[in-house]
Amino acid sequence: MMESLKAVFFKPDPQAQVRKCNTLIRQNTRKLDRDISQLKIVEGKAKTSIIQANRRAQRNPSQANQAAKDTRIFAKELIRIRKQSSRLITSKAQLNSVAMQVSEAFAVRKIEGSIRSSVGIMKDVNSLVRLPELMGTMRELSQELVKAGIIEEMVGDSLPDQLEDDEEEAESEVDKVLGEILQDRMGKVGATPTTPTPVKEPEPEPVEEDEEDEAAMLDQMHSLPLTAPPEGVVSNFVNPDSNGYILVNVTSVFLIFQILFFIARIYTRAFVARRLRWDDLACTIGFILSVTLYVLSILCVNTGYFGYHMWDISVGQATHSNMFILGLLVQFIYPLSMAFLKLTLFIFLYTLFNTLPWARITIYFGAITSTLLYTTCIVLHAVLAVPQESQLMAQIPKYEKFNDMLSVIYAFSVFFDFYILVLPLVGIWGLQLSAKRKMGVSCVFLTGVMACVCSVLMLYYRIALLHSNDSLRTVSFVLTTSVLESQIGTAFLREIPFSTSPAPTPLGEARSSVILGEERRGVPLKAVGEEKNATNI
């Protein structure tokens, strides 16, 4: 039942189809091996019967004529057995050839799937060799083999008639068989040639040169580009052009500021305010994940060929690089890092505006929804985007649908970036502060505009990646904007330690709020209209 539902809603799994083909081929090969073994046993019995008939003629000359007839009957049966054995061996060789073609087709499909946007040569190969069509070919081959077996059986049944029609040829073949088996005893059997027929020595099987074939295949893979270059462009495998230096230079500069701001935050909280809160823990985890994302991105550029043109990388370079493992790790680390950084911001906003009912509701909504969003992203990666066994990333079923869902998720991520940007501004302008001080506090939070810009650019390049024919070149921009977003998110948190004095209570209770202009201790912050209503009462 489940298999039927999967067949309705999902495309067939190519790897499952290959396993099914190989299972069918192995079953038929084993059956042919059993049949060949049985024919060898029958062939041995036929030879034994011929020898026994010859010995019977030698012991009793009166039965020499009958023994000669028996030997010729056994010889005819031996001819049928050898022909049938030859047909089975041929069928086995054909099945082995089909198995090799299936393996070759799946290997080509794996290479095509590993680099999803290889639309040049890989599309041509995919159009030439398709596993579903190969399954149809297998079914046709099976039908033809059945037909061939029936025809051969009919031919075998008509062999005695053919021997009668062509007596001389049949007798000559029978004499050869008898000469092969009896050899020096031929003179004692009537109606058979006395000159023994030389036995044909079996030809030695050709030695398989696996190492040479493997070396030739590797050479071919290292000379074949992932995708065909545009007209007028020649593939450059020696010194290819790359835009990875943009990622390395820009993110390395921001990494310095990120580390300085993080150290300043932790120092202020631990030694000045002398109080660490939950947002400090979330910020620390987000900072560690952000630095990890930076390191993985650098490795993607240096060892994973990110930033290169697709036609400047050979198939051999791609299959022997770490691009797939590094890309998979980046896909896990980025949403995890952003989840902790945004959770840090929501916790901080709660300490600022927990006295406002509407702010508490919106902060709870944003924190829970954004955390669930990134958790969903991580789960989708684990369920839909992790290769199984020897499967590669883009070879995974439903991988294209997964990329579409991922774009939708990151579109919501952009929404939450602006959500976090607007939320404190609304809360600040609702407080009883001077316009000058409100403007100054708003400028502190407006530094998050840079993170929003990076988030929008990341979404733009991610959508462009879905339709790009040069994905490795485009994905470097996705990595750059992703790393910058996490780094700027940490840098945005630098204002938190400088906006509070070393008070043991949250900022929302306003025991001390220098940045919001409340210099009296023990006086809570009030929203617009609260003081007026209290006076009227």
Predicted pLDDT of residue 225: 76
CB 197 within 8 A of CB 211: no
d(CA 298, CA 304): 9
- 432: three-class secondary structure by DSSP: coil
Residues facing 431 on adjacent strands: 527
DSSP summary character for residue 354: T
- Nearest C-alpha neighbor of 282 from the set 445, 496, 505, 451: 496
Predicted pLDDT of residue 302: 81
Which residues lie closer than 8 Å to 257 by C-beta, 6 or more apart? 487, 491
Place of tokens 């051999």: 316
H or E element in which residue 523 lies: none
CB 462 within 8 A of CB 334: no
Place of tokens 């495309």: 11
d(CA 180, CA 183): 6
- Nearest C-alpha neighbor of 309 from the set 237, 370, 359, 378: 237
Predicted pLDDT of residue 343: 87
Predicted pLDDT of residue 338: 85
CATH architecture of 244-536: Up-down Bundle (1.20)
CB 521 within 8 A of CB 511: yes
DSSP H helices in 224-356: 244-267, 278-303, 315-319, 323-353
d(CA 66, CA 48): 17
CB 194 within 8 A of CB 187: yes
- Nearest C-alpha neighbor of 262 from the set 280, 274, 277, 249: 280
Q: Is the four-CA dihedral 223, 224, 225, 228 of positive or negative sign?
A: positive
Predicted pLDDT of residue 525: 41
DSSP summary character for residue 208: P
Number of continuous H segments (helices) and E segments (strands) in the chain: 19, 0
- Nearest C-alpha neighbor of 346 from the set 456, 489, 488, 481: 489
CB 449 within 8 A of CB 432: no
Place of tokens 């088996």: 181
Which residues lie closer than 8 Å to 152 by C-beta, 6 or more apart? 84, 87
111 alpha carbon, distance to own chain's centre: 10
Per-residue pLDDT of the chain (537 residues; tens, 9 = 90+): 445 545 544 556 667 777 778 888 888 888 888 888 888 888 888 888 888 887 877 777 777 788 778 888 888 888 888 888 888 888 888 888 888 877 777 777 776 666 555 555 555 555 555 555 556 666 666 666 655 655 555 555 555 555 455 566 666 776 776 666 666 554 444 444 444 444 445 554 544 555 566 666 666 666 677 777 777 777 777 778 788 888 888 889 888 888 888 888 888 888 887 887 887 888 888 888 889 888 888 888 887 778 788 787 777 676 665 777 777 788 888 888 888 888 888 888 888 777 888 888 888 898 898 888 888 888 877 776 665 544 444 444 455 666 677 777 878 888 888 888 888 878 777 776 777 777 777 777 777 788 888 888 888 888 887 777 777 788 888 888 888 888 887 766 654 433 433 333 343 343 333 344 333 333 344 433 343 333 333
